[in-house]
Amino acid sequence: MSEFDRRRFLQAGGSAALAAGSLSGLLLTSAEAQQADTLTIAYNVGLPSWDPTTGPSAVNPSIQGIWKSVFDQYIDQAADLSFKPGLISKWGWNADKTKIEIELRQGALWHDGTPVTAADVVWNLKRAGDPKSGNPVAGIIWSSVDNFQVTGNKITADVKQYVADYFKWMAFLTGFMIPQAYYEKAGAAGFEKKPIGSGPYMIEEFVQGSFVKLKAFDKYWGAKPAFKNVTIKFVTDPSARVAEIETGKSDITLGVPFEEFDRLKALPHLTGVSSPITDIAMLFITDVEPMLDENVRKAAVFAVDKQAIVKRLLRGYGVVIDTLQAPQYAAFDATTKVKYDPELAKSLLAKSGYSVAKPVKFKIQTTRGYLPKDYETVQAIVGMWRKVGIEAEIEVYEIAKHFELRLSHKLAPMAFYNWGDAIGDPNDSTGFAMFGPSPHSGWKSKEVDAMIGPLWGEKDEAKRIAGWKKVDKYIADNALVLPLYQQVQTILFKKTLAVKPHMAGYLLAQSVGKAAKA
């Protein structure tokens, strides 16, 4: 019976009037059950595409959590970042690391009910490695393996060029699987209009820039989610997210201003969790004037009081860092430090003819509201610079514009960004951000490339990590990037929910539970 027919039936006279009491009770119970099985999330970013493997946004860490609700990855990560089986149940190298060996789990289904096959795995990996597919890391990661051979649910392939973090990328950006037969039948445009995956949720309705409604996939191979229905609202304005959670229109949100987080979690119906995640806030430095002057670069770095930013602006919700490695990353080296020394900054600028009276001028770009205190952090930095002889003009843009400019190497001399490396490998923090041939690098130099180049194919793990630590020290000593702080993620939610933070910063609908009743 349609909703229209049901309303018409209830409005009819006679027998309907006699049954009104019992029917209203039944309808109320149904409505309450529906509400109890529905989760509404106010997300801090929109979703530009439903193909999680192509385009600039495929390497945006902030939207991975949405994709992970609909699509499975080859390999998954637990909340503590440990790796666990996804669609692939076993994986590894052969003895001399010239081949990979993987095994597909049995029993997984696509949302249209067809089985996930080993042929799907091969098609996805080959497509990811094809530069024509539009995968942002095709040449650096996925094309390193080829000549796939399938025996049952087991797959082997030859390693064309050893990449130490190849398997880690199966749990990282673009490491998702989509159905070959359906995609080829629907085409790219058809898939975008009606995407399907093999994840815990299916897409029921999607309105670009507004929301997506999901419903649980009852044939999912993994753990069943606590909520059958999920609505993810795309709420990019932080004040709007505050309103969503405070008024109860949404059950859970993230990325609100820290002072609002402290206020709201104290309300009787709300609570919150906060924890460091693998994302880091940093400033890209682009190899253009005036950044080609090392005195200007170093002065810009020495003039920034990171501790003050974390303590006063972020209310303690951050961890100061001096390299592109967070403490949880494999190549983190606590001995590499960058000092705060505004007087040294002034003297360096003086060597190049600059002063407070005659400042060096350049543009700095940032998002506003994409992350808590992103714009305010840049404002604070610009204020610190002004005191030593640097005058920076702030340009605000959307995160999609940042990706566009970065990929074309057209960022301003300085640009704020949130770098996510959920797999904690230095290839994917320092490597991608600083290696010249990488489309994601800001600073491009032959000296840095000569140090990084050999590390991509280094099979000795201890030697590889030591090499990355040496690279990070060189970058810090020469002020080629400005790391700021490790992000602390804050999540607000109703007390009726149970939420465990994910160290990668993912807010996963399938991981939100119902709080135990007292």
- Reported as a single tens digit per residue, the pLDDT across 290-324 is 999 999 999 999 999 999 999 999 999 999 999 99
pLDDT at 35: 66
What does the pLDDT look like over 455-496, one tens digit per residue?
988 999 999 999 999 999 999 999 999 999 999 999 999 999
CB within 8 Å of 101: residues ≥ 6 apart: 90, 91, 92, 93, 94, 154, 155, 156
pLDDT at 57: 86
Q: If you compute the radius of gyration of the chain from its CA atoms, what whole number of angstroms results? A: 25
Provide the token pair at 348: 């360096």
pLDDT at 31: 45
What does the pLDDT look like over 413-444, one tens digit per residue?
999 999 989 999 999 999 999 999 988 899 99
Provide the token pair at 264: 């709201």
Q: Determine contact, residues 329/429, Cβ cutoff 8 Å.
A: yes
Provide the token pair at 251: 């059950």
Strand 38-43 relative to strand 252-254, pairing: parallel
Compute the distance between CA of residue 156 and CA of residue 152 in angstroms, rounded to an integer.
11
CB within 8 Å of 425: residues ≥ 6 apart: 164, 165, 168, 329, 330, 331
Judge whether residue 33 has pLDDT over 70: no
Strand 414-420 relative to strand 360-366, pairing: parallel
Distance of CA 39 to the CA centre of its chain: 21
Compute the distance between CA of residue 306 and CA of residue 322 in angstroms, rounded to an integer.
9
pLDDT at 24: 44
Compute the distance between CA of residue 326 and CA of residue 106 in angstroms, rounded to an integer.
37
Query: What is the average pLDDT value for the chain, to the nearest integer?
Result: 92
What does the pLDDT look like over 79-102, one tens digit per residue?
999 999 999 999 999 999 999 999
Q: Determine contact, residues 107/221, Cβ cutoff 8 Å.
A: yes
Provide the token pair at 180: 């070959």
Q: Is the dihedral of CA 412, 414, 417, 420 positive or negative?
A: positive
